[in-house]
Amino acid sequence: MNEDAMLIVHVHVQVKPEYVDAFRQAAIENAQASVQEPGVAQFDVVQQVDDPTHFVLIEAYRTPEAPARHKDTAHYAKWRDAVAEMMTAPRTSVKFHPVFPQAGA
């Protein structure tokens, strides 16, 4: 596996029902700032159709080091702190490498 390959992270967040709208707005603001980072290729916020309290952040980074740089930004810290009490449990993440299409191909 190419260690320089793009890294894709799916971050699962379960939100308390009373905070769905606030979480959604905070996540959108974070995503809008995140896509401006040079190491971020894509940053999507999706909401589950049959469970609107479940969100997935789909983060595509150009390098394996880019997620750490993302976590050093002011907008990430603002989002992290703002949503901490909105979640029913700590968020979880799963990391992937792209298979098709290949990044940069």
Per-domain residue ranges of the chain: 7-96
| pTM, two decimal places | 0.91
| pLDDT per residue of the chain (105 residues) written in tens, 0 to 9 | 455 679 999 999 999 999 999 999 999 999 999 999 999 999 999 999 999 999 999 999 999 999 999 999 999 999 999 999 999 999 999 999 988 876 554
Residue 14 exposed, middle or buried by CB count within 10 Å (0-12, 13-18, 19+): middle
User: Per this entry, what is the length of the chain?
Assistant: 105
Partners of residue 60 on adjacent β-strands: 8, 42
CA distance 7 to 63: 6
- Tokens for 104, please give them: 């940069």
Would you tell me which CATH number, out of the four given (3.30.70.270, 3.30.70.100, 3.40.50.150, 3.40.50.1820), belongs to the domain 7-96?
3.30.70.100
What are 36-54's pLDDT values in tens digits? 999 999 999 999 999 999 9
- At residue 105, the pLDDT reads 45
Q: Is beta strand 7-14 parallel, antiparallel or unpaired with respect to 40-47?
A: unpaired
